[in-house]
Each structure stands twice: as structure tokens, then as C-alpha cells.
Structure 1
Amino acid sequence: MTVHDTAETWLTHLAVERGLSANTLSSYRRDVLRYVDWLDSAGITDIDVVSVADIEAYVLDLRRGVDGRTALGASSAARALIVVRGLHRFALGEGLVVIDVAAEVAPPATGRHLPDTLSIEEVSLLIDACPADDAATAADLRDRALIEVLYGTGARISEAVGLSVDDVSEAPEVLRLTGKGSKQRLVPYGSMASDAVARYLVRGRPLLAKGKSHALFLNMRGGALSRQSAWAALKRAVERSGLDKEVSPHTLRHSFATHLLEGGANIRVVQELLGHSSVTTTQIYTHVTAENLRQVWHSAHPRA
């Protein structure tokens, strides 16, 4: 069976049997077709003749960025290899090959990346860049509430735009977030974020609502705010604030976790708040705080 036909059959299996989301399927299709194209350019069209050396050469080319392609970092190349492994594991299960050659290929080593964060003062500048006075527009109030929620809860952008009005709990200063795998968690979000949400619900959202959506954050047409529009709202706030750095929704999530740990929060608590299934994922933030301590020590200790 050709590699291309195997890839199409696998993608259909993922959609029908596994029920993967459209976004995940799109990512898988992009990565697997890039692999198929690479094999084709190497003169390899049948899945059962692909070797360990072929896959290792493919990963190496991803890292080098051949044929005018942008070179991928170690983590991106490792994610691409996961797709290749999935394809070959499927081929083995379907009896199309007698050995899973991809299982023997080690992913490229990834260095530990310390996530970008904002200082507490920078977060305040960002939030205050969104007006909340009597002259504030409905969009201003929405954007301020959105940024307060992102920083106040550490929510992923998809979790924030996925909030409904019903998720604003009757309990004071608590939101119900729906994370990966449709897992729900209750997260406190503080008086300032709570006030911003309440202000938006009273003065902003009614001006945006057209009776079409129960989403908490609405766009100008009354529908649910998209992830792209949420990014644009954050970008506007960054420009208004005068911050000279790249800020993404994930930057606010990173800042949320870092500031909690720096303030003495237990890592297990931070894990629960972030919705991480494993504390290992959360441990990256302990490296951030350790790096801050190291920098302070070097600048202050007489024998540094």
C-alpha cells in the first residue's frame, strides 16, 4: 500500500474511530502530508519499504530546514515525529508492515525552555490599558474582563473564550473552566477580575448581545468571541500599554503560575488551578522561580 493511501486511511480512522477534533485532525494532516511529500521526494512511495534510516533522515531534515522550509526546533520536530509514529503504528496494526520502524527512532533532544512572563507591574499596565470608566466602550469592558480572567485564573485562551454566562458561578469570585478532554474545574479568580467581569456583564455585554449566544465573551455581532479575536484584543491592550515585548495569552498563563509560586503557593495547588494532569508539566515554573533566585544571588552576593 502506498504511503499516501495509508496516511489517508489513518486520518479517516482518527476522524471516525477516534473522534479527534477538527483542529487536531488539521494538524495531523499537515504533519503527515509533509512526511509523505518528503518520502516521495526521496523516491519512497510504499509504506512497507520505509526504514529506520529514512525516518531519522526525515527528522534531521526537519531540524535543518531543507528545500526552502523553515527549520523546526527540537520540540516541533519531536511533535512531527509523534505523527510519523502514529502512522507507522497504524500500518502495523492493519497488517500493512511487519515491523514498526518508527518506534526505534528517538526524538531530538529538547532543551528546557523557561516560559516568558510579565512582572506584576507589567500585568497591571496591561490591564489598565483597557478603560473601565464611564467613557469605556462595550469592547473595552469586554477586553479588560478577558485579560483579568486570563491572568486571574491562568486559563488557556480556548478555556476563556469557551466560558458561558452560566460558568460565572453563584459562589463569589469563582469560574468554571472546561479544559482538555472536556474536564471541568472550579478556579478562584479574585476580586479585581470578579469586578471586571461584573462590570462587563452589567454595562458591556448587554450592548453586544443579540440574543444569539450564551457565551460570556461576545464579539461585535453578538456571537461568541473567537480565539483570533481574543488575541487581537490582547494585542490592542499591549499597544496601548506601551509594553515593549511580545505578549500572548499563554504569557498571562505563565505569569499567573510564576507569580503564585513566587508568592509561596504549593506546586500541587498550581497544578490543579492550571488543569495539568501531571505535576511534571507544572514543574517548569519551579525552574523559572529558581532562575529568578539565581539572578538575585548573582547581583547581590559579594562572592558571586
Structure 2
Amino acid sequence: MSGERRGTRAAHEALPPQLREAVDAFADHLAGVRNRSAHTVRAYVTDLVSLLDHAGRMGCADLSELDLAVLRSWLAKQRTMGAARTSLARRAAAARTFSAWAHRAGLLTADVAAPLASPRARRDLPTVLRADQAAALMDAPRVRAVGQAAARADAPHVRSTAEGPTTGDGPTASASPSACGASGDSRGGAAEGTASGQEGPGGEDAALLRDRVLLELLYGTGVRISEACGLDVADVDHARRVVRVLGKGGRERAVPYGVPAQRALDAWLSRGRPALAGPGSGAALLLGARGGRLNPTTARRIVAGYADAAGLPRTTPHGLRHSAATHLLEGGADLRAVQELLGHSSLASTQIYTHVSVERLRAAYRQAHPRA
């Protein structure tokens, strides 16, 4: 358990019983009624415990004494402690959500946080790969496989290994991509034995086949990393070339994928997954080296490792999502279609990619036009 989570647990236990019950009931509401993810529930509860702890230090012994002045004081303290604008905006949203729920539940006589303003978070333009850079990243597992095959041919008496430099937290981003890909599963991404050497019937390294399909799905569909790792085998419709994705808020959508992703899926399902599958695999599409569902933290290391090996800028799964959306719009896709593909509930979230395209157009104009 991280230090922050231990601190939140201690602060929660130190709250008066009435406030602890309110926090627990609010968490149940977020998870059971609002259908929020475990990550969102944990973040909102952490913010709420911080708020109530601050209120107690200001002399509020009861929830009914919570008012707008206390809320503003709490946010001001967070700002002086160096919280980013995005964090302040989230904490203000958590306070408003809790206040509205507590008012409806009869715990507050008024929705005291309704007038609470949020600091406007600066929306930086996402970093995206060029189309040729994305193609190089998709080809990185094949390049790695060719290199391993050549090494085995040159030194057949030496057992090939994909292990790379590690830290106390497992393989680093600059380690061999296969080492990154073999480092974890659904049990938390702890370091484990390398999957290199676990070959499918065709002789291919199972981890490399898994890495290839992971990259193709992330870039080919633009899904979030949590959505990709949450896919089951039955979610893939091979006939229509679409995957069924369960997104934020439990919203389900169908996302198409292309021929390269189909080839990667066929190779993984026929020759790679059987080599890694075990009793704990269940229906998971993507597996870690221990046979459990691939962990998002491990998947991030895989992407970063291959980007580093290919000499590309620092790349994350979300960066591939940004790249997919930008390339779709640059290719003439409709903004509404991209919104549906990405699973955005609001078109405003998708519109940032139009700014990315315009900025790239401006850069090309400044570089190429004599009157720029």
C-alpha cells in the first residue's frame, strides 16, 4: 500500500464516527449508483477525507457545520501546498458531488458546495506520433523477433533471454521490450520470470506476439489502456473486425480495427496465448507471463520499452490513443465518429484533437511556405 493510501486510511480512521459513516456511504453511492470506477471512487474518497480532516481542524465537529468558507479554505490550502490546477479542479468536483449527495440524503440542510468555483485546468495539446513513427512502433516487435532469431542462429548453444536491466520496481522503460512485457499480470505487475522462451507451436516468442497485438489494438482502435487490458476473448468479433469495449461509467461500445490488428490477433490467439495460458487466465484476451490478465502498469512498460528501442519520443498508451484520434481526423474522419470511437461522453473532449491537427498544419505552413 502506498504512503498516500496509508495516510488516507489513517485520516479516515481518525474521523468522528458520523463522518466515517458518511464517507463510506458516499463511496457506496459512487460505486453502486453512479457506477464509477474503483480508481474514481478511491480518488474522490481521498479528496473527501482530506476535506473533512481540514474541516475538523477548523473546528467543524459535525457535518452540518460544513460551509462554503471551509471548502474555499481547503482548496486554498491545497494550492499553497503546490497542488496542480488539474488536481484542484478534481477536488472541487469531488466536493460538489459529495455536497449534492449529502443534501439529497438529508445530511446537509443545503447544497453548500454548489457555488464553489473550480480553477480552470489548462488543457495542454497532447503529444502525438507522426504516422511514420507510429508505423515504426507497430513494427518494433517484429524487429525484436528478427534480432532474437539471428542471435539464436549465431549462438545456438546459448539460451536466449529477454531479461534487461531492472530496478526494485521491475524492468525499467529502457529495458528490453520483451522483459517489460513479461514483468507482470493481474496480480499487480510484480517482477517475475521472463516469458521469453515460451514459444507457440510456430516457434514464435509468445510475449512478442502478445506485445504486437497490444500495440496494434492500442493504436488501431484508440482504446484506453484499461479497456484494452479488460478485453476478453469473446469481445473480439473476427467476422466484422470489431471489439466490444466496456468504457467509463460502464458504457459499452463497438470499435473497429484494421487488417494489421486482425493478423496480430490471429497469431496471438493461435500461437501465442496458448503458450502463456494457465488455470488463472480465465477469458482474458491479453495475458501476462504468469498467465493472469495483463496488468495496465505492465502494458505501459511494454509501450515505453518498444518506443525507446525504436528511437521514438517517450510514448505511453494514452499517447497512442491521442495519435490514433489525430490521424483519423487528419485523414478526414468526422468529429462525431471519432467521439464515438474514443468513447467520449462529451464532444468537447474530442475537439482538442482538431487543435492538434491545426497546430501541425501551421507548423508545416511555417516550414514550407515562402511567405510564412
TM-score by length of 1: 0.88
Aligned to 2:340: 272
Q: Sort the Cα spacing of 1:287 and 1:244 in 2 relative to 1 into closer, same or farther, 3 A.
A: closer
1:4 and 1:36 in contact (8 A); partners too: no
- Contact 2:220 / 2:258 at 8 angstroms: preserved in 1? yes
Aligned match of 2:62 in 46, 49, 52? 46
Aligned counterparts of 2:370 and 2:118: Cα–Cα separation in 1: 43
Residue type at the aligned position of 1:76: S
**What letter matches 1:98 in structure 2?**
T
Map of 1:250 onto structure 2: 318
Q: Which amino acid aligns with 1:186?
A: A
Q: CA deviation at 1:225?
A: 1.1
Q: How far apart are 1:5 and its partner, in Å?
A: 4.8
Identity of aligned residues (%): 43
CA root-mean-square deviation: 2.3
Counterpart in 1 of 2:360? 292
Q: Amino acid of the residue matched to residue 227 of structure 1?
A: P
1:64 aligned to which of 80, 98, 104: 80
Rounded to whole Å, the distance in 1 between the matches of 2:237 and 2:304 is: 28
Distance of 1:171 and 1:278 partners within structure 2 = 30
Cα-to-partner distance string for 1:125-178 (whole Å, 9 max, x where unaligned): 222221355944111110111011000000111211111222221315332222
CA distance in 2, matches of 1:175, 1:91: 39
Measure the CA separation in 1 of the matches of 2:33 and 2:332: 45
Stretches of structure 2 lacking an aligned partner (at least 5 in a row): 1-15, 150-203
For residues 273 and 240 of structure 2, the distance between their equivalents in structure 1, rounded to whole angstroms, comes to 20
Tell me the distance in 1 between the aligned counterparts of 2:334 and 2:97.
37
Runs (4+) of structure 1 exceeding 6 A deviation are none
Alpha-carbon distance change, 225 to 89 in structure 1, aligned in 2, over 3 angstroms: same
* Length, aligned pairs only: 298
The reply on whether 1:81 has 2:71 as its aligned counterpart is no
| Alpha-carbon offset, residue 280 of structure 1 | 2.2
Aligned-partner residue type, residue 127 of structure 2? D
Tell me: CA distance 1:201–1:47, structure 2 relative to 1, closer, same or farther (3 Å).
same
CA contact (8 A) 2:66 2:112 kept: yes
Gap change, CA 1:280 and 1:125, over 3 Å in 2: same
**Preserved contact between residue 238 and residue 262 of structure 2 (Cα < 8 Å):** no
1:95 aligns with 2:164: no
- Partner residue in 2 for 1:68: none
1:23 aligns with 2:39: yes
* 1:231 match: 300
Q: Which amino acid aligns with 2:269?
A: L
Provide Cα deviations, 1:1-42, integer angstroms capped at 9, x if missing partner: 865553344334445555544333222221111212222333
Counterpart in 2 of 1:152? 220
Task: Kindly indicate whether residue 80 of structure 2 is the aligned counterpart of residue 11 of structure 1.
Answer: no
- 1:72-122 CA distance string (max 9 Å, x none): 222221111111112222332233332222111111122232112111122
Question: Cα 1:73–1:98, aligned 2, differ >3 Å: closer, same or farther?
Answer: same
Cα distance, 1:302 vs. partner? 4.0
Output one character per residue of 1:185-234: Cα deviation in whole Å (capped at 9) or x when no partner.
32221111111111112221110112542211111122211212212222
In the other structure, the counterpart of 1:119 is: 130
Task: Give the corresponding residue for 1:191.
Answer: 259
Tell me the amino acid that sits aligned with residue 42 of structure 1: M
Rounded Cα–Cα distance in structure 1 between residues aligned with 2:363 and 2:70 = 44
Distance 2:242 2:94 in 1: 38
Counterpart of 1:204 in structure 2 is 272
Partner secondary structure for residue 176 of structure 1:
strand
Between the aligned partners of 1:185 and 1:3, the Cα distance in structure 2 is 38
| Secondary structure at the counterpart of residue 101 of structure 1 | coil
Gaps of 5+ in 1: 66-70
3-state DSSP class of the match of 1:187? strand
